[in-house]
Chain A
Amino acid sequence: GAVVSQHPSWVICKSGTSVKIECRSLDFQATTMFWYRQFPKQSLMLMATSNEGSKATYEQGVEKDKFLINHASLTLSTLTVTSAHPEDSSFYICSAHRDRGTGELFFGEGSRLTVL
């Protein structure tokens, strides 16, 4: 099946620094990728829709200057958490569906961010 890979799978950083998380579709092209955030004992919350070659579409309440999304190619989207603070600590998950596919979503393994 289609594979989506995230890197890093976990990261610890100091408050005030920026962290970049990569999401790659390994064996298919994905014009659109999605970034989710998952809090403990809560559901996945859609943060933004990443569109190749254009600006991301952010959900209401998500700070676009805080969570920078770049979709530079058909197989790579990046999420940069800028000036991270402890409240940004969370589990970030990306997903993508294959271009010209069935619409099924394929998920990355997730990236756990801990901000000290």
Chain B
Amino acid sequence: GDSVTQMEGPVTLSEEAFLTINCTYTATGYPSLFWYVQYPGEGLQLLLKATKADDKGSNKGFEATYRKETTSFHLEKGSVQVSDSAVYFCALRVMKVTFGIGTKLQVIP
């Protein structure tokens, strides 16, 4: 079946540090890939997405590139802020949406 693997965390970074959260997947068919973010006390929100190989999704300084050859969709940001502290979920959709376990990011001043 479809699955998404991501680092559990927590990931603790200082403000302005570079962020990478790895995400790899297995899927039947050709999935769309997503990163969702869940801020404390809030529901999940779509952060970015990519629908086909080599697409790059970007939003709020975050980027992720759909790499079919490595079945990966790693999330990156060049300079994190305290306000980026949240849980980040990698997900894929073929027929249904399958989520990774979520990675908690803590950014300290």
Interface, chain A (partner B; CB < 8 A): 4, 6, 34, 41-44, 46, 49, 93, 95, 104-105, 107-110
Q: Which A residues lie within 8 Å of B41 (CB)?
A: 109
Contact of A41 among B36, B49, B101 (CB under 8 A): B101
Interface, chain B (partner A; CB < 8 A): 4, 8, 36, 41-46, 49, 89, 96-102
Q: Are A93 and B100 in contact (CB under 8 A)?
A: no
How many A-B residue pairs have C-beta atoms within 8 angstroms? Tell me. 34
Shortest beta-carbon distance from A64 to chain B in Å: 17
Complex CA distance for A44 and B46, rounded to whole angstroms: 15
Give 12 new A-B contacts, CB below 8 A, not counting A44-B99, A107-B36. Answer: A6-B43, A34-B97, A43-B4, A43-B99, A43-B100, A43-B102, A49-B96, A93-B43, A93-B44, A104-B46, A108-B43, A109-B43
Chain B contact surface mostly: strand
Q: Are A4 and B43 in contact (CB under 8 A)?
A: yes
Shortest beta-carbon distance from B37 to chain A in Å: 11
Q: Which residue of A lies closest to B41 (CB)?
A: A109
Q: Are A41 and B8 in contact (CB under 8 A)?
A: yes
Q: Which A residues lie within 8 Å of B8 (CB)?
A: 41
Complex CA distance for A107 and B99, rounded to whole angstroms: 13
Shortest beta-carbon distance from A104 to chain B in Å: 6
Q: Are B96 and A43 in contact (CB under 8 A)?
A: no
Q: List 13 A-B contacts (CB under 8 A).
A: A41-B101, A43-B100, A44-B99, A46-B98, A49-B96, A93-B44, A95-B44, A104-B46, A104-B49, A107-B44, A107-B45, A108-B43, A109-B43
Question: Which 3 A-B residue pairs are closest in the complex by CB-CB distance?
Answer: A107-B44, A107-B43, A109-B43
